[in-house]
A = this chain, B = another copy of it.
Amino acid sequence: MNGAESLVRTLVAGGVDVCFANPGTSEMHFVAALDRVDGMRCVLGLFEGVVTGAADGYYRMKGTPASTLLHLGPGLANGLANLHNAKKANSGIVNIVGQHATYHIGYNAPLTSDIEGLARPMSSWVRTSPDATSVSADGAAAIVAAKSAPAQIATLILPADTAWNEADGIAQVPAESQRANYSSQAVDNAAKVLRAGGGETLLLMTGSALTEHGLALAAQIAGKTGCKVMGQTYNPRMARGKGRFAIDRIPYVIEQALPILKNFKNIVLVEANDPVAFFAYPNKPSMLKPQGCEVHRMTTGAENSVAALEALASALGAKPADRQPQKMVDIAKPTGALTHASIAQAIAMAIPENAIVVDESITTGRGFFPPTAAAAPHDWLQNMGGSIGFSTPVATGAAVACPDRKVICMVGDGSAMYTLQSLWTQAREGLNVVTIVFANKIYQILRGEFDGVGAGEPGQRALDMLKINRPDLDFVALAKGMGVPGRSVANADDFNKALAEAIAEPGPRLIEVQM
Protein backbone atom coordinates (compact mmCIF):
# COMPACT_ATOMS: atom_id res chain seq x y z
CA MET A 1 0.00 0.00 0.00
CA ASN A 2 1.17 3.53 -0.72
CA GLY A 3 1.57 6.35 1.81
CA ALA A 4 -1.85 7.84 1.12
CA GLU A 5 -3.58 4.53 1.68
CA SER A 6 -1.57 3.94 4.87
CA LEU A 7 -2.83 7.30 6.09
CA VAL A 8 -6.49 6.70 5.23
CA ARG A 9 -6.32 3.29 6.94
CA THR A 10 -4.61 4.80 9.99
CA LEU A 11 -7.25 7.53 10.21
CA VAL A 12 -10.12 5.05 10.03
CA ALA A 13 -8.46 2.73 12.56
CA GLY A 14 -7.88 5.73 14.81
CA GLY A 15 -11.55 6.69 14.75
CA VAL A 16 -11.20 9.58 12.31
CA ASP A 17 -13.72 8.35 9.78
CA VAL A 18 -15.16 11.55 8.33
CA CYS A 19 -13.13 13.71 5.96
CA PHE A 20 -14.30 17.12 4.79
CA ALA A 21 -12.46 17.63 1.54
CA ASN A 22 -11.59 19.96 -1.29
CA PRO A 23 -8.76 18.08 -2.95
CA GLY A 24 -6.42 18.92 -5.81
CA THR A 25 -3.77 17.12 -7.80
CA SER A 26 -1.40 16.50 -4.90
CA GLU A 27 -4.23 14.84 -2.95
CA MET A 28 -5.37 12.45 -5.69
CA HIS A 29 -3.76 9.40 -4.09
CA PHE A 30 -5.69 10.08 -0.87
CA VAL A 31 -8.86 10.29 -2.97
CA ALA A 32 -7.94 7.12 -4.83
CA ALA A 33 -7.46 5.30 -1.52
CA LEU A 34 -11.13 5.98 -0.68
CA ASP A 35 -12.06 3.41 -3.32
CA ARG A 36 -9.96 0.76 -1.56
CA VAL A 37 -10.57 1.57 2.10
CA ASP A 38 -13.97 1.11 3.70
CA GLY A 39 -15.20 3.22 6.56
CA MET A 40 -14.14 6.73 5.55
CA ARG A 41 -16.98 9.13 4.74
CA CYS A 42 -15.63 11.87 2.50
CA VAL A 43 -17.73 15.04 2.21
CA LEU A 44 -16.92 17.48 -0.58
CA GLY A 45 -16.98 21.25 -0.05
CA LEU A 46 -16.78 23.78 -2.87
CA PHE A 47 -14.55 26.07 -0.80
CA GLU A 48 -12.09 25.31 1.96
CA GLY A 49 -13.74 27.61 4.49
CA VAL A 50 -16.70 25.24 4.32
CA VAL A 51 -14.42 22.27 4.85
CA THR A 52 -12.63 23.53 7.97
CA GLY A 53 -15.76 25.03 9.54
CA ALA A 54 -17.60 21.75 9.00
CA ALA A 55 -14.82 19.93 10.84
CA ASP A 56 -15.27 22.37 13.74
CA GLY A 57 -19.03 21.74 13.88
CA TYR A 58 -18.46 18.00 13.64
CA TYR A 59 -16.07 18.02 16.59
CA ARG A 60 -18.36 20.13 18.72
CA MET A 61 -21.23 17.68 18.35
CA LYS A 62 -19.32 14.41 18.15
CA GLY A 63 -16.50 15.16 20.57
CA THR A 64 -14.03 13.45 18.27
CA PRO A 65 -12.07 14.89 15.36
CA ALA A 66 -12.83 14.72 11.66
CA SER A 67 -10.11 15.21 9.11
CA THR A 68 -9.94 17.76 6.34
CA LEU A 69 -8.25 17.37 2.96
CA LEU A 70 -6.82 20.60 1.56
CA HIS A 71 -4.82 21.52 -1.53
CA LEU A 72 -1.38 22.95 -0.76
CA GLY A 73 -0.77 26.37 0.83
CA PRO A 74 -3.60 28.31 -0.82
CA GLY A 75 -6.14 25.58 -0.04
CA LEU A 76 -5.06 25.70 3.59
CA ALA A 77 -5.12 29.51 3.49
CA ASN A 78 -8.75 29.49 2.36
CA GLY A 79 -9.57 27.35 5.38
CA LEU A 80 -7.59 29.33 7.96
CA ALA A 81 -10.34 31.69 9.14
CA ASN A 82 -12.55 28.82 10.25
CA LEU A 83 -9.53 27.00 11.68
CA HIS A 84 -8.97 30.13 13.74
CA ASN A 85 -12.55 29.86 15.03
CA ALA A 86 -12.11 26.13 15.66
CA LYS A 87 -8.85 26.66 17.52
CA LYS A 88 -10.49 29.22 19.81
CA ALA A 89 -13.27 26.67 20.42
CA ASN A 90 -10.72 24.00 21.41
CA SER A 91 -12.04 21.78 18.63
CA GLY A 92 -9.90 18.88 17.49
CA ILE A 93 -9.23 18.61 13.75
CA VAL A 94 -6.74 16.59 11.70
CA ASN A 95 -5.87 18.66 8.63
CA ILE A 96 -4.26 16.79 5.76
CA VAL A 97 -2.64 19.31 3.44
CA GLY A 98 -1.09 18.22 0.17
CA GLN A 99 2.30 19.50 -0.86
CA HIS A 100 4.46 19.19 -3.96
CA ALA A 101 6.64 16.08 -4.13
CA THR A 102 9.68 16.61 -1.89
CA TYR A 103 12.05 16.89 -4.86
CA HIS A 104 9.71 19.32 -6.69
CA ILE A 105 9.43 21.96 -3.95
CA GLY A 106 12.76 23.61 -4.74
CA TYR A 107 11.73 24.41 -8.33
CA ASN A 108 9.24 27.04 -7.18
CA ALA A 109 6.32 25.92 -9.35
CA PRO A 110 3.29 28.26 -9.21
CA LEU A 111 1.59 26.65 -6.21
CA THR A 112 4.74 26.55 -4.08
CA SER A 113 4.42 28.40 -0.77
CA ASP A 114 5.49 28.14 2.85
CA ILE A 115 2.79 25.73 4.00
CA GLU A 116 4.20 25.21 7.48
CA GLY A 117 4.39 28.99 7.91
CA LEU A 118 0.74 29.29 6.92
CA ALA A 119 -0.31 26.44 9.18
CA ARG A 120 1.40 27.54 12.38
CA PRO A 121 -0.74 30.53 13.41
CA MET A 122 -3.94 28.44 13.41
CA SER A 123 -2.52 25.01 14.38
CA SER A 124 -1.14 23.66 17.64
CA TRP A 125 0.63 20.77 15.92
CA VAL A 126 2.32 20.94 12.49
CA ARG A 127 4.40 18.31 10.75
CA THR A 128 5.53 17.55 7.19
CA SER A 129 5.97 13.86 6.41
CA PRO A 130 9.49 13.28 5.06
CA ASP A 131 8.77 10.00 3.25
CA ALA A 132 6.05 7.44 2.56
CA THR A 133 7.08 5.11 5.38
CA SER A 134 6.61 7.94 7.91
CA VAL A 135 3.10 8.90 6.82
CA SER A 136 1.09 6.46 8.91
CA ALA A 137 3.02 7.21 12.12
CA ASP A 138 2.72 10.93 11.42
CA GLY A 139 -1.01 10.46 10.89
CA ALA A 140 -1.29 8.62 14.20
CA ALA A 141 0.62 11.42 15.93
CA ALA A 142 -1.74 13.97 14.36
CA ILE A 143 -4.74 12.05 15.70
CA VAL A 144 -3.20 11.97 19.19
CA ALA A 145 -2.58 15.72 19.02
CA ALA A 146 -6.11 16.42 17.79
CA LYS A 147 -7.58 14.31 20.60
CA SER A 148 -5.45 15.74 23.39
CA ALA A 149 -7.00 17.75 26.22
CA PRO A 150 -7.80 20.41 25.29
CA ALA A 151 -8.25 19.21 21.72
CA GLN A 152 -6.01 20.71 19.06
CA ILE A 153 -5.80 21.67 15.41
CA ALA A 154 -3.22 19.24 14.01
CA THR A 155 -1.92 19.89 10.51
CA LEU A 156 -0.09 17.15 8.65
CA ILE A 157 1.51 18.17 5.37
CA LEU A 158 1.86 15.39 2.85
CA PRO A 159 4.30 15.81 -0.06
CA ALA A 160 2.93 14.04 -3.14
CA ASP A 161 5.72 11.46 -3.28
CA THR A 162 5.08 10.45 0.34
CA ALA A 163 1.52 9.72 -0.83
CA TRP A 164 2.40 7.68 -3.89
CA ASN A 165 5.51 5.83 -2.71
CA GLU A 166 5.30 2.45 -0.96
CA ALA A 167 4.54 2.54 2.77
CA ASP A 168 5.00 -0.02 5.54
CA GLY A 169 1.41 -0.35 6.66
CA ILE A 170 -0.88 1.35 9.10
CA ALA A 171 0.12 2.79 12.46
CA GLN A 172 -1.49 2.15 15.80
CA VAL A 173 -3.05 5.17 17.44
CA PRO A 174 -2.18 5.11 21.16
CA ALA A 175 -5.04 5.09 23.64
CA GLU A 176 -6.70 8.47 23.95
CA SER A 177 -5.21 10.82 26.46
CA GLN A 178 -7.80 11.32 29.14
CA ARG A 179 -8.99 14.73 30.15
CA ALA A 180 -7.02 15.43 33.34
CA ASN A 181 -9.17 15.29 36.41
CA TYR A 182 -9.04 18.64 38.22
CA SER A 183 -7.12 20.34 40.97
CA SER A 184 -8.62 19.61 44.40
CA GLN A 185 -6.84 22.67 45.70
CA ALA A 186 -8.56 24.83 43.07
CA VAL A 187 -11.94 23.34 43.99
CA ASP A 188 -11.26 23.91 47.70
CA ASN A 189 -10.29 27.48 46.96
CA ALA A 190 -13.48 28.02 44.94
CA ALA A 191 -15.51 26.53 47.79
CA LYS A 192 -13.86 28.89 50.24
CA VAL A 193 -14.59 31.90 48.04
CA LEU A 194 -18.22 30.86 47.58
CA ARG A 195 -18.74 30.16 51.28
CA ALA A 196 -17.27 33.52 52.22
CA GLY A 197 -19.33 35.59 49.81
CA GLY A 198 -21.56 33.71 47.39
CA GLY A 199 -23.64 36.75 46.66
CA GLU A 200 -20.60 38.70 45.53
CA THR A 201 -19.20 35.88 43.42
CA LEU A 202 -19.59 35.12 39.73
CA LEU A 203 -19.19 31.52 38.61
CA LEU A 204 -18.14 32.01 34.98
CA MET A 205 -18.36 28.86 32.90
CA THR A 206 -17.65 27.69 29.38
CA GLY A 207 -16.44 24.66 27.45
CA SER A 208 -17.16 21.21 28.82
CA ALA A 209 -18.91 22.68 31.87
CA LEU A 210 -21.94 23.71 29.83
CA THR A 211 -23.58 20.31 29.56
CA GLU A 212 -27.03 19.74 31.06
CA HIS A 213 -25.39 18.07 34.05
CA GLY A 214 -22.69 20.70 34.49
CA LEU A 215 -25.33 23.42 34.43
CA ALA A 216 -27.51 21.51 36.90
CA LEU A 217 -24.57 21.34 39.31
CA ALA A 218 -24.02 25.07 38.88
CA ALA A 219 -27.73 25.63 39.64
CA GLN A 220 -27.34 23.74 42.91
CA ILE A 221 -24.24 25.72 43.82
CA ALA A 222 -26.01 28.98 42.99
CA GLY A 223 -29.04 27.97 45.06
CA LYS A 224 -26.87 27.05 47.99
CA THR A 225 -24.44 29.98 47.95
CA GLY A 226 -26.31 32.79 46.21
CA CYS A 227 -23.60 33.13 43.58
CA LYS A 228 -24.41 34.25 40.06
CA VAL A 229 -23.68 31.81 37.22
CA MET A 230 -22.93 33.12 33.74
CA GLY A 231 -21.45 31.90 30.49
CA GLN A 232 -18.86 33.68 28.41
CA THR A 233 -20.13 36.00 25.72
CA TYR A 234 -19.32 33.13 23.35
CA ASN A 235 -19.29 29.44 24.17
CA PRO A 236 -18.54 26.45 21.95
CA ARG A 237 -21.70 24.57 22.98
CA MET A 238 -24.28 25.09 25.66
CA ALA A 239 -27.15 22.82 26.71
CA ARG A 240 -30.27 24.97 26.83
CA GLY A 241 -34.04 24.93 26.82
CA LYS A 242 -36.87 23.71 28.98
CA GLY A 243 -35.81 21.95 32.18
CA ARG A 244 -32.22 23.10 31.94
CA PHE A 245 -30.58 25.73 34.09
CA ALA A 246 -30.70 28.91 32.02
CA ILE A 247 -27.75 31.24 32.39
CA ASP A 248 -27.03 34.60 30.90
CA ARG A 249 -23.87 35.43 29.04
CA ILE A 250 -21.64 38.44 29.52
CA PRO A 251 -22.98 40.95 26.99
CA TYR A 252 -20.87 41.75 23.92
CA VAL A 253 -21.51 45.46 24.28
CA ILE A 254 -19.04 46.76 26.82
CA GLU A 255 -21.43 49.41 28.20
CA GLN A 256 -23.80 46.57 29.07
CA ALA A 257 -21.14 44.24 30.40
CA LEU A 258 -19.49 46.63 32.85
CA PRO A 259 -22.58 47.32 35.00
CA ILE A 260 -23.44 43.63 35.19
CA LEU A 261 -19.97 42.79 36.50
CA LYS A 262 -19.40 45.86 38.65
CA ASN A 263 -20.45 44.43 42.02
CA PHE A 264 -18.58 41.14 41.92
CA LYS A 265 -15.72 40.81 44.39
CA ASN A 266 -14.73 37.37 43.09
CA ILE A 267 -14.91 35.51 39.79
CA VAL A 268 -14.46 31.75 39.75
CA LEU A 269 -13.43 30.57 36.28
CA VAL A 270 -14.63 27.20 35.04
CA GLU A 271 -12.65 26.85 31.79
CA ALA A 272 -13.62 30.47 31.04
CA ASN A 273 -11.20 33.33 30.39
CA ASP A 274 -10.84 36.32 32.67
CA PRO A 275 -13.49 38.42 30.90
CA VAL A 276 -12.03 40.71 28.26
CA ALA A 277 -13.69 43.08 25.79
CA PHE A 278 -14.02 41.71 22.28
CA PHE A 279 -12.36 44.87 20.98
CA ALA A 280 -10.59 47.77 22.64
CA TYR A 281 -12.31 51.16 22.59
CA PRO A 282 -10.75 54.53 23.37
CA ASN A 283 -11.01 55.36 27.06
CA LYS A 284 -12.73 52.10 27.94
CA PRO A 285 -11.13 49.20 29.79
CA SER A 286 -9.97 46.02 28.09
CA MET A 287 -10.62 43.89 31.15
CA LEU A 288 -14.25 43.80 32.21
CA LYS A 289 -13.99 42.89 35.89
CA PRO A 290 -14.20 45.75 38.36
CA GLN A 291 -11.20 47.13 40.23
CA GLY A 292 -10.23 44.88 43.13
CA CYS A 293 -12.21 41.87 41.90
CA GLU A 294 -10.24 38.68 42.47
CA VAL A 295 -10.16 35.98 39.83
CA HIS A 296 -9.86 32.31 40.84
CA ARG A 297 -9.33 29.64 38.24
CA MET A 298 -11.04 26.36 39.12
CA THR A 299 -10.49 24.48 35.84
CA THR A 300 -8.78 24.93 32.49
CA GLY A 301 -9.90 23.56 29.14
CA ALA A 302 -7.64 20.56 29.78
CA GLU A 303 -9.49 19.51 32.92
CA ASN A 304 -12.72 17.75 33.80
CA SER A 305 -14.98 20.63 34.74
CA VAL A 306 -18.10 18.58 35.40
CA ALA A 307 -16.18 16.43 37.89
CA ALA A 308 -14.82 19.60 39.47
CA LEU A 309 -18.34 21.04 39.72
CA GLU A 310 -19.47 17.79 41.37
CA ALA A 311 -16.65 18.11 43.89
CA LEU A 312 -17.45 21.75 44.45
CA ALA A 313 -21.16 21.02 44.99
CA SER A 314 -20.23 18.27 47.39
CA ALA A 315 -17.78 20.49 49.30
CA LEU A 316 -20.50 23.11 49.63
CA GLY A 317 -23.21 20.61 50.47
CA ALA A 318 -25.17 21.87 47.46
CA LYS A 319 -27.91 19.39 46.59
CA PRO A 320 -30.47 19.13 43.76
CA ALA A 321 -33.04 20.46 46.19
CA ASP A 322 -31.05 23.68 46.50
CA ARG A 323 -31.79 24.57 42.92
CA GLN A 324 -34.07 27.60 42.77
CA PRO A 325 -36.90 27.94 40.30
CA GLN A 326 -36.13 30.26 37.40
CA LYS A 327 -38.51 32.72 35.87
CA MET A 328 -38.69 32.16 32.13
CA VAL A 329 -39.76 34.65 29.50
CA ASP A 330 -43.21 33.81 28.13
CA ILE A 331 -43.12 32.63 24.57
CA ALA A 332 -45.87 32.55 21.99
CA LYS A 333 -46.09 32.59 18.22
CA PRO A 334 -45.73 36.23 17.20
CA THR A 335 -47.94 38.03 14.72
CA GLY A 336 -47.50 41.23 12.77
CA ALA A 337 -44.24 42.88 11.89
CA LEU A 338 -40.82 41.26 12.06
CA THR A 339 -38.84 42.89 14.84
CA HIS A 340 -35.87 41.55 16.74
CA ALA A 341 -38.32 40.60 19.51
CA SER A 342 -40.88 38.88 17.29
CA ILE A 343 -38.13 37.04 15.42
CA ALA A 344 -36.82 35.76 18.76
CA GLN A 345 -40.30 34.60 19.78
CA ALA A 346 -40.85 32.81 16.49
CA ILE A 347 -37.53 31.00 16.78
CA ALA A 348 -38.10 30.08 20.43
CA MET A 349 -41.45 28.56 19.48
CA ALA A 350 -40.05 26.71 16.47
CA ILE A 351 -36.89 25.12 17.87
CA PRO A 352 -37.66 21.40 17.82
CA GLU A 353 -36.67 19.03 20.60
CA ASN A 354 -32.98 18.11 20.54
CA ALA A 355 -32.16 20.71 17.89
CA ILE A 356 -28.68 22.07 17.33
CA VAL A 357 -28.76 25.86 17.08
CA VAL A 358 -25.78 27.50 15.39
CA ASP A 359 -25.78 31.19 16.21
CA GLU A 360 -24.19 33.78 13.96
CA SER A 361 -27.18 36.10 14.22
CA ILE A 362 -24.92 38.99 15.35
CA THR A 363 -26.96 42.14 16.06
CA THR A 364 -30.33 40.66 15.15
CA GLY A 365 -29.86 37.91 17.71
CA ARG A 366 -28.68 39.92 20.69
CA GLY A 367 -32.02 39.30 22.40
CA PHE A 368 -32.46 35.68 21.34
CA PHE A 369 -31.12 34.13 24.54
CA PRO A 370 -33.90 34.84 27.08
CA PRO A 371 -36.88 33.58 25.04
CA THR A 372 -35.05 30.55 23.67
CA ALA A 373 -34.27 29.45 27.23
CA ALA A 374 -37.93 28.45 27.30
CA ALA A 375 -37.74 26.55 24.02
CA ALA A 376 -37.55 22.78 23.69
CA PRO A 377 -34.20 21.37 24.87
CA HIS A 378 -31.40 22.04 22.41
CA ASP A 379 -27.66 22.74 22.07
CA TRP A 380 -26.47 26.27 21.21
CA LEU A 381 -23.20 26.73 19.30
CA GLN A 382 -21.39 30.05 18.97
CA ASN A 383 -18.44 31.55 17.17
CA MET A 384 -15.39 31.46 19.42
CA GLY A 385 -12.93 33.25 17.14
CA GLY A 386 -14.97 36.14 15.79
CA SER A 387 -14.19 35.42 12.15
CA ILE A 388 -17.49 35.66 10.28
CA GLY A 389 -18.59 32.96 7.87
CA PHE A 390 -18.57 30.51 10.73
CA SER A 391 -22.15 29.33 11.01
CA THR A 392 -23.09 27.79 7.67
CA PRO A 393 -20.05 25.47 7.66
CA VAL A 394 -20.38 24.62 11.37
CA ALA A 395 -24.06 23.80 10.81
CA THR A 396 -23.01 21.54 7.93
CA GLY A 397 -20.53 19.62 10.06
CA ALA A 398 -22.92 19.39 13.01
CA ALA A 399 -25.55 17.89 10.70
CA VAL A 400 -23.04 15.31 9.42
CA ALA A 401 -22.23 14.43 13.04
CA CYS A 402 -25.87 14.19 14.13
CA PRO A 403 -28.06 13.06 11.22
CA ASP A 404 -31.04 12.50 13.53
CA ARG A 405 -31.08 16.03 14.91
CA LYS A 406 -32.37 19.18 13.24
CA VAL A 407 -29.84 21.98 12.82
CA ILE A 408 -31.05 25.58 12.94
CA CYS A 409 -28.42 27.92 11.49
CA MET A 410 -29.06 31.59 12.25
CA VAL A 411 -26.89 33.99 10.30
CA GLY A 412 -26.68 37.66 9.37
CA ASP A 413 -26.65 38.46 5.67
CA GLY A 414 -23.10 39.82 5.80
CA SER A 415 -21.78 36.69 7.49
CA ALA A 416 -23.79 34.40 5.22
CA MET A 417 -21.98 35.71 2.15
CA TYR A 418 -18.61 34.47 3.39
CA THR A 419 -19.10 30.73 3.11
CA LEU A 420 -22.50 30.33 1.49
CA GLN A 421 -21.11 27.42 -0.54
CA SER A 422 -22.03 25.34 2.53
CA LEU A 423 -25.57 25.15 1.15
CA TRP A 424 -24.40 23.04 -1.76
CA THR A 425 -22.77 20.50 0.54
CA GLN A 426 -25.96 20.44 2.60
CA ALA A 427 -27.97 19.73 -0.54
CA ARG A 428 -25.57 17.06 -1.77
CA GLU A 429 -25.52 15.24 1.56
CA GLY A 430 -29.22 15.78 2.29
CA LEU A 431 -28.40 17.41 5.62
CA ASN A 432 -31.16 18.54 7.96
CA VAL A 433 -30.17 22.18 8.20
CA VAL A 434 -32.56 25.12 8.23
CA THR A 435 -30.61 28.28 7.47
CA ILE A 436 -32.26 31.52 8.59
CA VAL A 437 -30.67 34.59 7.02
CA PHE A 438 -31.39 37.91 8.70
CA ALA A 439 -31.31 40.30 5.75
CA ASN A 440 -30.93 43.74 7.31
CA LYS A 441 -28.73 44.79 4.36
CA ILE A 442 -25.98 46.26 6.48
CA TYR A 443 -23.03 45.15 8.59
CA GLN A 444 -25.14 46.48 11.46
CA ILE A 445 -22.58 45.59 14.10
CA LEU A 446 -20.11 47.96 12.42
CA ARG A 447 -22.66 50.76 12.50
CA GLY A 448 -22.50 50.44 16.29
CA GLU A 449 -18.76 49.92 16.41
CA PHE A 450 -18.17 53.01 14.30
CA ASP A 451 -19.61 55.04 17.15
CA GLY A 452 -18.01 52.80 19.79
CA VAL A 453 -14.46 53.48 18.63
CA GLY A 454 -15.15 57.20 18.66
CA ALA A 455 -15.40 57.72 14.91
CA GLY A 456 -18.62 59.72 15.32
CA GLU A 457 -21.40 59.66 12.77
CA PRO A 458 -20.61 58.01 9.42
CA GLY A 459 -20.98 60.14 6.30
CA GLN A 460 -22.02 58.79 2.93
CA ARG A 461 -18.64 57.33 1.96
CA ALA A 462 -18.23 55.57 5.29
CA LEU A 463 -21.82 54.27 5.19
CA ASP A 464 -21.11 52.81 1.76
CA MET A 465 -18.55 50.53 3.42
CA LEU A 466 -21.12 49.35 6.00
CA LYS A 467 -24.25 48.89 3.90
CA ILE A 468 -24.62 45.84 1.72
CA ASN A 469 -27.67 46.93 -0.18
CA ARG A 470 -27.21 48.34 -3.70
CA PRO A 471 -27.81 45.76 -5.01
CA ASP A 472 -29.90 43.84 -2.50
CA LEU A 473 -28.87 40.25 -2.10
CA ASP A 474 -31.53 37.65 -2.97
CA PHE A 475 -30.85 34.69 -0.72
CA VAL A 476 -33.67 32.60 -2.15
CA ALA A 477 -32.03 32.84 -5.58
CA LEU A 478 -28.62 32.09 -4.09
CA ALA A 479 -30.00 29.02 -2.32
CA LYS A 480 -31.73 27.86 -5.50
CA GLY A 481 -28.40 28.20 -7.28
CA MET A 482 -26.98 25.62 -4.90
CA GLY A 483 -29.95 23.29 -4.87
CA VAL A 484 -31.54 24.37 -1.59
CA PRO A 485 -35.24 25.35 -1.52
CA GLY A 486 -35.73 28.78 0.00
CA ARG A 487 -38.42 31.21 0.98
CA SER A 488 -38.39 34.89 1.82
CA VAL A 489 -40.61 36.24 4.58
CA ALA A 490 -41.49 39.78 5.60
CA ASN A 491 -43.92 39.29 8.47
CA ALA A 492 -44.19 37.15 11.57
CA ASP A 493 -47.00 34.92 10.35
CA ASP A 494 -45.11 33.95 7.23
CA PHE A 495 -41.98 33.42 9.30
CA ASN A 496 -43.83 31.07 11.70
CA LYS A 497 -45.19 29.14 8.76
CA ALA A 498 -41.88 29.00 6.92
CA LEU A 499 -40.10 27.78 10.05
CA ALA A 500 -42.66 25.05 10.69
CA GLU A 501 -42.50 23.84 7.09
CA ALA A 502 -38.72 23.96 6.86
CA ILE A 503 -38.31 22.07 10.12
CA ALA A 504 -40.89 19.46 9.14
CA GLU A 505 -39.18 18.65 5.84
CA PRO A 506 -36.02 16.55 5.61
CA GLY A 507 -32.97 18.05 3.95
CA PRO A 508 -31.75 21.64 3.83
CA ARG A 509 -34.00 24.70 3.62
CA LEU A 510 -33.30 28.43 3.68
CA ILE A 511 -35.46 31.24 5.02
CA GLU A 512 -34.60 34.82 4.18
CA VAL A 513 -35.96 37.16 6.85
CA GLN A 514 -36.50 40.61 5.34
CA MET A 515 -35.78 43.28 7.88
Evaluate contact between A111 and B386: CB separation under 8 angstroms.
yes
Point out the residue from B73, B160, B418 that lies within 8 Å of A453, measured CB to CB: B160
Report the bound CA distance from A47 to B481 in whole Å: 19
Per-position 1/0 for A343-383, Cβ under 8 A of B: 00000000000000000000000000000000000000001
Q: How many positions in chain A have a CB within 8 Å of any CB in the partner chain?
A: 99
Report the bound CA distance from A164 to B24 in whole Å: 44
Evaluate contact between B164 and A278: CB separation under 8 angstroms.
no
Point out the residue from B417, B461, B474, B481 that lies within 8 Å of A34, measured CB to CB: B461
Point out the residue from B73, B446, B453, B477 that lies within 8 Å of A121, measured CB to CB: B73
Cβ–Cβ < 8 Å partners of A414 in chain B: 46
Evaluate contact between B73 and A77: CB separation under 8 angstroms.
no
Evaluate contact between A471 and B428: CB separation under 8 angstroms.
yes
Is A292 close to B, CB under 8 A?
A: no
Cβ–Cβ < 8 Å partners of A473 in chain B: 424, 481-483
Report the bound CA distance from A75 to B31 in whole Å: 30
Report the bound CA distance from A49 to B389 in whole Å: 13
Is A387 close to B, CB under 8 A?
A: yes
Cβ–Cβ < 8 Å partners of A452 in chain B: 25
Point out the residue from B101, B282, B445, B468 that lies within 8 Å of A280, measured CB to CB: B101
Point out the residue from B276, B466, B482 that lies within 8 Å of A478, measured CB to CB: B482
Is A490 close to B, CB under 8 A?
A: no
Evaluate contact between B464 and A42: CB separation under 8 angstroms.
yes
Per-position 1/0 for A160-179, Cβ under 8 A of B: 11001000000000000000
Report the bound CA distance from A374 to B31 in whole Å: 41
Distance from A388 Cβ to chain B, minimum over Cβ atoms (Å): 8
Evaluate contact between A278 and B110: CB separation under 8 angstroms.
yes
Q: Which of A54-62, A112-120, A296-304 forms part of the interface with chain B?
A: A112-120
Evaluate contact between A113 and B100: CB separation under 8 angstroms.
no
Q: Known contacts A28-B449, A31-B450, A110-B88: does B23 contact A280 (CB below 8 Å)?
A: no
Point out the residue from B287, B471, B477 that lies within 8 Å of A427, measured CB to CB: B471
Is A81 close to B, CB under 8 A?
A: yes
Is A108 close to B, CB under 8 A?
A: yes
Distance from A41 Cβ to chain B, minimum over Cβ atoms (Å): 9
**Could you list which residues of chain A lie within 8 angstroms of chain B, going by C-beta atoms?**
21, 23-26, 28-29, 31-32, 34-35, 42, 44, 46-47, 49, 73-75, 77-78, 80-81, 84-85, 88, 100-101, 103-104, 107-111, 113-114, 117-118, 120-122, 160-161, 164, 234, 273, 276-280, 282, 286-287, 383-387, 389, 414, 417-418, 421, 424, 427-428, 445-446, 449-450, 452-456, 458-462, 464-466, 468, 470-478, 480-483
The 5 A-B residue pairs with the shortest CB-CB distance, nearest first, are A471-B483, A74-B387, A478-B481, A35-B459, A101-B280
